[in-house]
């Protein structure tokens, strides 16, 4: 049986359920707070393109492989997160940098190219652009935060290979060597990816905070171009990727004035084995595979705005 509680003889009946709902609704239009971060990401990257025969005709023949490696970048980046008292949150980041170094290994295989050929070209004057936006729902206590999110990730990488030096025994390709002042190949790789994941945070030992962000990429679509300036020809590359991952971890120290400093690590990977290159020189689609990864460590300075409070009911 429901028992009424009386206050000061006024006869007012207190309903705990209604009081709880009223407390939540009275605060629903006030934000919990958020955080703005500035990061500097020291990263390395690799892009590998496998080239096969004509799609549907000879796509089981492995013709060549182009491996862009050592693609180092130093990316300034901004990150913003806003949390609502209801548990809803949005977060996103934006960054970019030049890719000043790297190497292209271009391999051609028998029986189409005999003997085997492997050439090196120096990468320079490249650049990197990326952004992401996520929205989700989370739970928070004084020590822990855990949430799920979904969002979108954009990644674009532009690299240039200069010169060409034969490092195998093929006497017909890049013999004599092409000088490093000559632009030989440009690869422009763009990914648009969906993200589903979770993030977590743990506050311990005073002001220390450890956090992690793990995202599954259920679907990503590729829009890329491959320009061979010396032949010449251009390939318009399209494809899809399923089931890749993006991981990030961070350790920071929170000061009483709202400022925190810290460092972390990040790894991105997107891969498609069923892409196509529509080459303008042969007029028919060619089957390719394309793999992109970027990884490295970052330092961070952030500022907390708003009041982070916890609903207890």
Host domain of residue 101: 16-305
Give 68 or 309, the one with higher predicted confidence.
Answer: 68
Which pLDDT score, from 0 to 100, does residue 312 have? 31
Residue 59: pLDDT band by 50, 70, 90 thresholds?
A: confident
108-159: pLDDT as tens digits: 999 889 999 999 999 999 999 999 999 999 998 989 999 999 999 999 999 9
Which pLDDT score, from 0 to 100, does residue 29 have? 44
Number of domain units in the chain: 1
241-275: pLDDT as tens digits: 999 999 999 999 999 888 999 999 999 999 998 89
Please state, in angstroms and rounded to a whole number, the distance separating the CA atoms of residues 74 and 20: 50
Residue 123 domain-assigned (yes or no): yes
pLDDT at 178 over 80: yes
Residue 35 domain-assigned (yes or no): yes
274-312: pLDDT as tens digits: 899 998 888 889 999 999 999 999 999 998 776 544 433
Which pLDDT score, from 0 to 100, does residue 27 have? 43
198-209: pLDDT as tens digits: 999 999 998 999
Q: Residue 227: which residues within 8 A CB-CB, separation 6 or more? A: 185, 186, 187, 188, 233, 234, 235
15-53: pLDDT as tens digits: 654 555 444 434 444 455 677 889 999 999 999 999 999
Q: What is the mean pLDDT of the chain?
A: 88
Which pLDDT score, from 0 to 100, does residue 26 have? 43
Please state, in angstroms and rounded to a whole number, the distance separating the CA atoms of residues 56 and 291: 22
Q: Residue 3: which residues within 8 A CB-CB, separation 6 or more? A: none
Q: Which of 42, 74, 186 is nearest to 125 (CA)?
A: 186
Residue 50 domain-assigned (yes or no): yes
Residue 261 domain-assigned (yes or no): yes
Which pLDDT score, from 0 to 100, does residue 1 have? 41
Residue 80 domain-assigned (yes or no): yes
Which pLDDT score, from 0 to 100, does residue 34 have? 73
pTM, full prediction: 0.85
Residue 312 domain-assigned (yes or no): no
| CB half-sphere exposure, 301, CA atoms < 13 A | 3
Residue 9 domain-assigned (yes or no): no
**Residues 92-112, buried b or exposed e (16+ Cβ, 10 A)?**
bbebebebeebebbbbbbeee
Residue 311 domain-assigned (yes or no): no
What's the CATH number where 244 sits? 2.40.128.90
**Residues 213-230, buried b or exposed e (16+ Cβ, 10 A)?**
bebebeebebebebbbee
């Amino acid at each position: 049986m429901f028992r009424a509680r009386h206050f000061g003889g006024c006869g007012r009946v207190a309903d705990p359920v209604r009081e709880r709902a009223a407390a939540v609704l009275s605060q629903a239009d006030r934000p919990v707070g958020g955080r703005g971060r500035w990061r500097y990401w020291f990263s390395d990257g690799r892009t590998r393109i496998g080239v096969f025969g004509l799609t549907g005709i000879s796509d089981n023949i492995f013709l060549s492989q182009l491996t862009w490696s050592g693609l180092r970048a130093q990316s300034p980046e901004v990150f913003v997160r806003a949390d609502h008292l209801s548990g809803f949150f949005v977060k996103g980041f934006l960054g970019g940098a030049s890719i000043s170094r790297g190497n292209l290994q271009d391999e051609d295989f028998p029986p189409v190219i005999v003997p085997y050929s492997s050439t090196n070209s120096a990468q320079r004057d490249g650049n990197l652009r990326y952004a992401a936006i996520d929205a989700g729902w989370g739970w928070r206590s004084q020590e822990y935060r855990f949430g799920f999110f979904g969002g979108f990730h954009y990644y674009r990488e532009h690299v240039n290979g200069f010169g060409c030096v034969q490092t195998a025994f093929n006497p017909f390709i890049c013999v004599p060597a092409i000088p490093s002042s000559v632009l030989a190949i440009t690869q422009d790789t763009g990914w648009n990816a969906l993200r589903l994941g979770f993030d977590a945070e743990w506050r311990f030992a005073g002001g220390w905070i450890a956090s992690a962000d793990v995202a599954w990429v259920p679907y990503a679509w590729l829009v890329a171009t491959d320009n061979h300036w010396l032949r010449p020809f251009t390939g318009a590359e399209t494809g899809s990727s399923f089931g890749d991952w993006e991981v990030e971890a961070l350790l920071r120290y929170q000061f009483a004035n709202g400022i925190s400093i810290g460092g972390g690590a990040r790894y991105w990977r997107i891969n498609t084995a069923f892409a196509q290159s529509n080459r303008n020189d042969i007029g028919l689609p060619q089957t390719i595979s394309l793999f992109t990864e970027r990884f490295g460590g970052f330092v961070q300075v952030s500022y907390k705005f708003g009041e982070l409070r916890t609903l207890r009911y």
